[in-house]
Amino acid sequence: MTSLTKLTDAWQLVKELDLNPLRQQALNGVCLAVVGNDETARTTLTDALLHDPLHPEHHASSPILSLDLEKGKQAAAADLIILILGSPQAGLEQDYDRVKKNWRAIGRRLAKK
């Protein structure tokens, strides 16, 4: 009998939930940002993200921002930010530290891989 009572209570809770905000969030597209100083690398990655080579008739509808490091703060609204720093070279750590500092100021974390 207690199982039936628990089920009834759970059903009452589910009936009262407003699922519209969750539905709206699920229907919104994902915004991506590709950030880096190498314009060729940014363009190549952006094109690869927008076009499926196995299905050329399909085109991604998600907005993708392509920004250099100086404009990286504009990526704050993106759901996912991809940082391209290029091959290891002099100054790479300084670029990484600068981006990390700037993004921390706008509430974004940066994972180093």
What are the strands of the beta sheet with 64-67, ordered from one edge? 64-67, 32-36, 80-84
Q: What is the DSSP letter of 69?
A: G
69 within 8 A of 42, measured Cβ to Cβ: no
Provide the whole-model pTM: 0.65
Burial of 100 (0-12, 13-18, 19+ CB in 10 A): middle
Cα dihedral 64, 108, 42, 51 sign: negative
Structure tokens at 80: 């996912």
Tens digits of residue pLDDT in 43-74:
999 988 888 878 888 877 788 899 988 887 78
Q: Is the model's pLDDT at 17 over the cut of 60?
A: yes
| % of residues, the chain, pLDDT over 90 | 4
